[in-house]
Amino acid sequence: MKILITGQEGFIGYHLYNTIKFNLPDIEIINFQKKIFQTQNDLDKTLSRVDIIIHLAGVNRAQNESDVLKKNLIITDKLINSLSRINFSGKLIFASSTQHSDNNPYGNSKKLSTEKFFKASKKNNFTFINLIIPNVFGPFCKPNYNSFVATFCYNEINGIPNNVEGNNQVSLIYIDNLVDIIIKKFQTDISTDFLIKEDIKIKVEDVKKIIEDYNKKYFLDGNIPNLDSNFKMNLFTTFHSYINSEKHFPKNHNLISDNRGSFSEVIRFESSGQVSYSLTKPKKTRGNHFHTRKIERITIIQGEALIRTRKIGTNKINTYKLNGKNPSYVDMKVWYTHSIENIGSSTLISMFWINEFYDENDSDTFFEKV
């Protein structure tokens, strides 16, 4: 099966692309850059290679609101015209929105695009699946663009006030859950509307309060807050992704020393999880893997370590040097591959906290060299 994702570099596209890449090796993803829309021949040639198109590309906001409707319909028309020229007979999955019934440029663009796609699917005999999606949140979503959750997290970390007007109840779905639904729709062969059910309905003010709690307990104090529900865990993972790790880590532990030696608290947490440790010989490296849902704290309590991290899909490598003489820790973000190298001459002792028990049947561990 060959697929492509328009908007593969966007928020949903990033998570969908990499989830398929690392979980579904039998699916071939055809690389799609937005510049392909600019040339008719390139667009036709690319679309003709695939069985399934997941159409995510679009404009959510613009300086001139009318441009949102205009630009999105231009993309829709280019896609439909290309599908007609190549006699596409596969499957088109479209990311619509629960705002499709709202009388605003973004909602109207989704509504009109849906109507155009349904009409084209009947005329050209391809399958069209219209996904009506609630508000999506998750790591790496762009603040001040398409998610108030992203904006609230970014603002709280950077000391910018979050103002709530109206305190409406909102429907939210976490990005991983949306991606799972999209992938399941690969097996659907009937053109249809599909209303995606939210994970939770919650007041905006309640989301704000939870994020404020994360900022106080975790970002400022270094402790793990209460993560006693899937929503709280997903919101914490989202919050965590907006921390500037290069500036924030490594964080020193408070070392208390006397004539007997030294003592230090490693972590306080209000959440479940697992603590483990490793011994690493000189010049050896551990890790070179990443997680998609787990938060991990790595503490060095003896020896010298070089921790390297890299966000999946990027080339930039971040490095952190830690030394057991000054015990410190680094927390790992989801979708960041990481490694720990012993750069000292003695055995390296590392301690790990992770927010869930290890399950060999669902380890959420994917190997990728930093």
Q: For residue 279, what is the domain's CATH number?
A: 2.60.120.10
Name the nearest CA neighbour of 21 among 13, 10, 29: 29
Distance between CA atoms of 128 and 89, rounded to whole angstroms? 10
Spatial distance between the Cα atoms of 344 and 360, rounded to a whole number of angstroms: 31
Shared domain for 281 and 133, answered yes or no, is no
Residues 150 and 101 in one domain: yes
What is the Cα–Cα distance from 36 to 91, expressed in whole angstroms? Answer: 19
Q: Which domain-ending residue is among 155, 182, 207?
A: 207
CA–CA gap between residue 137 and residue 238 (Å, rounded): 7
In sequence order, which ranges of the chain are alpha helices (DSSP H)?
A: 11-23, 40-47, 65-85, 105-124, 148-157, 175-184, 204-214, 230-241, 245-248
Q: What is the pTM of this model?
A: 0.94
User: Which pLDDT score is estimated for 30?
Assistant: 97
* Residue 103 confidence (pLDDT): 82
In terms of residue numbers, what domain contains 35?
2-207
Cα(252)–Cα(299) distance, rounded to whole angstroms? Answer: 9
Of 207, 233, 265, the residue that ends a domain is 207
Read off φ and ψ for residue 30, nearest 5 degrees.
-80, 125
Q: How many domains does the chain have?
A: 3
- Identify the domain boundary among 241, 261, 293: 241
**Which CATH number belongs to the domain containing residue 82 in this structure?**
3.40.50.720
**Do 226 and 309 lie in a common domain?**
no
pLDDT in tens, the chain (370 residues): 999 999 999 999 999 999 999 999 999 999 999 999 999 999 999 999 999 999 999 988 777 878 899 999 999 999 999 999 999 999 999 999 998 878 888 999 999 999 999 999 999 999 999 999 999 999 999 999 889 999 999 999 999 999 998 899 999 999 999 999 999 999 999 999 999 999 999 999 999 999 999 999 999 999 999 999 999 999 999 999 999 999 999 999 988 888 988 888 889 889 888 999 999 999 999 999 999 999 999 999 999 999 999 999 999 999 999 999 999 999 999 999 999 999 999 999 999 999 999 899 999 999 999 9
156 shares a domain with 58:
yes
List the structure tokens of 327. 């015990």
- CB 59 within 8 Å of CB 113: no
Asked if 28 and 112 sit in the same domain, the reply is: yes
- Amino acid at position 266, single letter: V
Regarding whether 139 and 162 lie in a shared domain, the answer is yes
Domain identity same for 201 and 232: no
Q: Which of 222, 235, 219 is nearest to 269 (CA)?
A: 222
Check if the beta carbon of residue 214 is closer than 8 Å to that of residue 149: no
How far, in Å, CA of 31 to CA of 46, rounded?
9
Nearest to 173 by CA among 151, 149, 205: 149
Q: Do 53 and 178 reside in the same domain of the chain?
A: yes
**Would you give the end-to-end CA distance of the chain in angstroms?**
29
Same domain, 200 and 215: no
